[in-house]
Structure 1
C-alpha cells in the first residue's frame, strides 16, 4: 500500500510515496487537512458497467445501489438508520470502467463510519426485498425517461457509435435486462470487482498518517483479491459523418455529436484539453458558445468535452435548438471545427486558454471532498502522485505545434457522428 502525504490542504506540493504494510495491494493517498475535524474518503475499483453480462445491462448500477441497502447483521432499514444517526454520508456510483464511492463524516464518528463502509463492501446482503425495490426504482426511472430527448439522444449515440460493444449498452439497462438480473448475477459481479487488487483510495482530513493507515486497513483490508475481469476490447467511434434522427414530437431537438479523442494517459491529452477548451469547453469564451449562442442565438447552451474510457476516448458535444434551426446549428459547429483544422487558434486565443486553465485549476480543490475525488481519479488513471504539481506546467508549455498534432488526432477531417432527438427540419 502506498500513502502519499502532503502538508497543504490544496494538495499542490509534490508528494512522497510511503509503503504501508497494513493492507497490501491497496494504493492510497492522504492529504492532511486540519481545518475541519472531518474525514472525506473517495475510492474506486477497476471494472464497471462494461462488465455487465450480455442481456444483463444494469447489473453494475444495481449492485452499486444495493451496497448500502443492508450489510452484515444490519438489514436495509437498520443500516440506513446507523448512517443517519451520526450524519454519515456514504454513496456509491458506477461508470463504464469503474465502481466507486465516497464517505464523509465528522472525525468523532469515524470509527462507526469506517465500520459501516467495511460492511457495505465486504458483506452486502443483497436481500431479495431490497433487490426488488431497487429494480422497481430503476425501471420506474427508465419509464420516466422514455420521452426525455436528452436521454434518448445519448443512448442512441452510444448504440450507434459502439455497436456490439460494451460501451454501446446503457449502464442503466433496459426494462428487459433489469428484469432478467438475479441475485446470483449481483453476487458474481461483486466478487469480480470489489477487491483489493484494483483499489485506489484517497483520504483527506484532520488525522495523521498512523490514524488514516488504520482506517484504510479496517475499511478495505478484509476485502479479497478481485476476481478476473472480462477483457474490454479497444474500439473506435463508428458512423463518423452520419446524422441520425430519433423521432420525437417536441418543438426543440436535443443534439449529441462526437469525434475521436485522446485518453487521459496519452501524452497528447493536455494539448487536446487546451484545444477542446478553445472549441467548446470554455463556457462563455469558447468558439462554439460565441458563434452558436452569442452571435446567432441558435441555442441556450453548447459545448464539448473530452471523455476518456479504458477502451476508447472521444470528443463529446451537445446542444439543443429549434427543429427548424438544427441544420444551421450543425453547419456552424462544423464550420468552427473546420476553421480550427485549417488555421488553428490564434496565439492570443491559445494564451488566454492556457491562462484560464492554469488559473482555475485550484478551484477543483476547494473542499475536502473535491480533493479526495480529484486524487482518486488521478490514481485511477495512473498519472502519478506528482501530477497535481506538474499539471499547470504541462498546460503552460503547450505550443501551436502541440495543438496541431492534437487537432489531427481529435478533429481529424471534421466528420462527426450526430444524433438529434426531435423533429429537425431538413436533417
Structure 2
C-alpha cells in the first residue's frame, strides 16, 4: 500500500506576508516558484511519481531515487556503488558503451546514474519528439545494463584520478582523520564512498551487477518528473519499467552517530604556508521545531557569505583569514554546526580566538531584529533559484520526497521562514552554539590553543 506523508502545519499568515508571497520571481518553466503544482501520480499500488506538468517546452525530465547507496559497499571494495551507478549508461542490452551512448546522443537523450550514501539516482531527459525511443532505452538500461568493460575501465580511470587527487589534498586528509576520531573508524558514514587507490582496482564487473540487483528495485523507488508529459502518459511509460524490476530489500536504518569528545585537536602535519581549521559540534535534526529558525541564525552567523558576522569580523575587519564560513546541517536523525577557515600559519591562533569570540557572543546574545529580518528576506527571496530550469526543479521535487515533506511544501515553505520571530531566533542560537566544539587542523601553525 502507498504510504501517505502527513502535511506540515502551515503558520498563520499576516496580510503583509500574504501580499509578499505574490512577489516571487518567475522561473523558467513559466510558473511562479511559490505556485509549483506537484501532482501525485499513482504508478503502481506501491509507487507514486511527483509530477510538475508544464507544456511550455517540448522537454521531459525524470529522476529516479533508489533507496540504497555506498553504505553497502563491502570493506576493501569501497567505491563499488559509485562506479556501478557511474557506469550504468556504459552499454545496455546487446549494445556496447559506444553504440548506446551514440544512439542517445543522436536523439538528444540523456540518462545517467549517480550514487549517494543512502540514496542513488538515475537522471533522464528527452525531447518530446524522442519519447518512444527514450523510454525504451531507459527500460533497457535499468533492467539490462551491459557494464561494457571498455566503458567501465574509462570510468575506473576517472575514479582513480579523483582518488589520487583526494589523497594529495590536505583538506581531504583532515576530513578523513577528523571524522574517524569523531564517529569511529567503523562508522559506515566514514567509508570512502568513491573508493581509493587500493579499493577501486579491486572492483569487478560482477560487483557492478550485484549493486544493480541489490538497489534498483520496484519497491524502493521514488520518482520526480517535470515537463511536457501528462499524468496518464507518465503512468503509461513508467509502470512497465517498474514491473520489470525486482523486489529488493531496502537497507536498515542507521543509528544516529555519537559525537566523541576530543582530548585535543585532530592535527595533520602538512608542509604548506597556510593552516585550515575545522570545528564541529552536535545539533538537533531537521525534524526539530526550530529547524527553520536554525537556518535563519546559521545564515546570519556564517552561512551568508561576506556579510555574515564571522566574515565581517574575522576576515573584513581583522584580516586574519582568507575565507571563513559556518553552517548548520540538519539530517533526518541528527544535526551538526560547524565552522572552517583558512589562514596563514602564524595567524592561526589569533584567527581562532577571534572566531570563538564571535561564536560565543552569538550563542549568548543571538541575532538582532534587523539581522533576522534581512536573513528571512534573503532566504525567501532566493527560493526562486531552486527553479531555474527543469533539472533544478526535478532535483528539488525528488529531495522533498527524500525528506518526507508533503507535495504542497513549495506552497508554504517560505511561510515557515517568515514565522521565525526574534525571540525564536535568539533561543535557537543559544541551543545551536552552546555545545562543545571538536577541532581539527591541517598545516603547520605556529600556535593553536582552543580555550574550551
Q: Give the TM-score of the pair, scaled to structure 1.
A: 0.90
Q: 1:398 aligns with which of 414, 420, 439?
A: 420
Q: Write out per-residue CA displacement over residues 342-372 of structure 1, whole angstroms, 9 at most, x where no aligned residue.
A: 1011111111111111111122112111111
1:209 aligned residue: 231
In structure 2, relative to structure 1, the CA distance for the partners of 1:412 and 1:52 (3 Å cut) is farther
**Is residue 73 of structure 1 aligned with residue 89 of structure 2?**
no
Higher-Rg member (1/2): 2
1:165 Cα deviation after fit: 0.4
Gapped runs of 5+ residues in structure 1? none
**Is residue 349 of structure 1 aligned with residue 395 of structure 2?**
no
**Partners of 1:39 and 1:395 in 2: CA distance:** 32
**Is residue 51 of structure 1 aligned with residue 72 of structure 2?**
yes
Q: Write out per-residue CA displacement over residues 355-392 of structure 1, whole angstroms, 9 at most, x where no aligned residue.
A: 11111112211211111111110011101112111211
In structure 2, relative to structure 1, the CA distance for the partners of 1:417 and 1:60 (3 Å cut) is farther
**Is residue 108 of structure 1 aligned with residue 108 of structure 2?**
no
* Count of paired positions: 423
**Partners of 1:305 and 1:329 in 2: CA distance:** 18
Q: Give the TM-score of the pair, scaled to structure 2.
A: 0.85
Q: Is the 8 A contact 1:9 1:32 kept in 2?
A: no
Q: Is the 8 A contact 2:40 2:48 kept in 1?
A: no
In structure 2, relative to structure 1, the CA distance for the partners of 1:108 and 1:396 (3 Å cut) is same
**Is residue 42 of structure 1 aligned with residue 25 of structure 2?**
no
2:245 aligned residue: 223
**Partners of 2:30 and 2:3 in 1: CA distance:** 19
Q: Is the 8 A contact 2:286 2:334 kept in 1?
A: no
1:240 Cα deviation after fit: 5.5
1:23 Cα deviation after fit: 3.1
In structure 2, relative to structure 1, the CA distance for the partners of 1:171 and 1:117 (3 Å cut) is same
**Is residue 134 of structure 1 aligned with residue 150 of structure 2?**
no
Structure 2 SS opposite 1:175: coil
Gapped runs of 5+ residues in structure 2? 6-28
Q: Is the 8 A contact 1:241 1:417 kept in 2?
A: no
Q: Write out per-residue CA displacement over residues 173-200 of structure 1, whole angstroms, 9 at most, x where no aligned residue.
A: 2222223333343333322221122212
Structure 1 SS opposite 2:199: helix
1:317 Cα deviation after fit: 3.3
1:330 Cα deviation after fit: 2.2
**Partners of 1:287 and 1:206 in 2: CA distance:** 45
In structure 2, relative to structure 1, the CA distance for the partners of 1:111 and 1:335 (3 Å cut) is farther
1:404 Cα deviation after fit: 4.2
1:286 Cα deviation after fit: 1.3
2:139 aligned residue: 118
Q: 2:187 aligns with which of 165, 169, 172?
A: 165
**Partners of 1:176 and 1:382 in 2: CA distance:** 37
Across the aligned residues of Structure 1 and Structure 2, the Cα RMSD in angstroms comes to 2.6
Structure 2 SS opposite 1:425: coil
**Partners of 2:37 and 2:309 in 1: CA distance:** 37
**Partners of 2:431 and 2:210 in 1: CA distance:** 39
Larger CA deviation: 337-346 vs 308-317: 308-317
2:272 aligned residue: 250
Q: 2:120 aligns with which of 91, 99, 116?
A: 99
Q: Is the 8 A contact 1:14 1:385 kept in 2?
A: no
Q: 2:103 aligns with which of 68, 82, 85?
A: 82
Structure 2 SS opposite 1:67: coil
**Is residue 284 of structure 1 aligned with residue 281 of structure 2?**
no
Q: Write out per-residue CA displacement over residues 112-168 of structure 1, whole angstroms, 9 at most, x where no aligned residue.
A: 232333222222223444444433332232113322223223333332222120111
**Partners of 1:129 and 1:311 in 2: CA distance:** 41
**Partners of 1:202 and 1:342 in 2: CA distance:** 43
2:287 aligned residue: 265
**Is residue 377 of structure 1 aligned with residue 431 of structure 2?**
no
Q: Is the 8 A contact 2:363 2:432 kept in 1?
A: no
1:17 Cα deviation after fit: 5.4
Q: 2:319 aligns with which of 297, 310, 314?
A: 297
Q: Is the 8 A contact 1:49 1:58 kept in 2?
A: yes
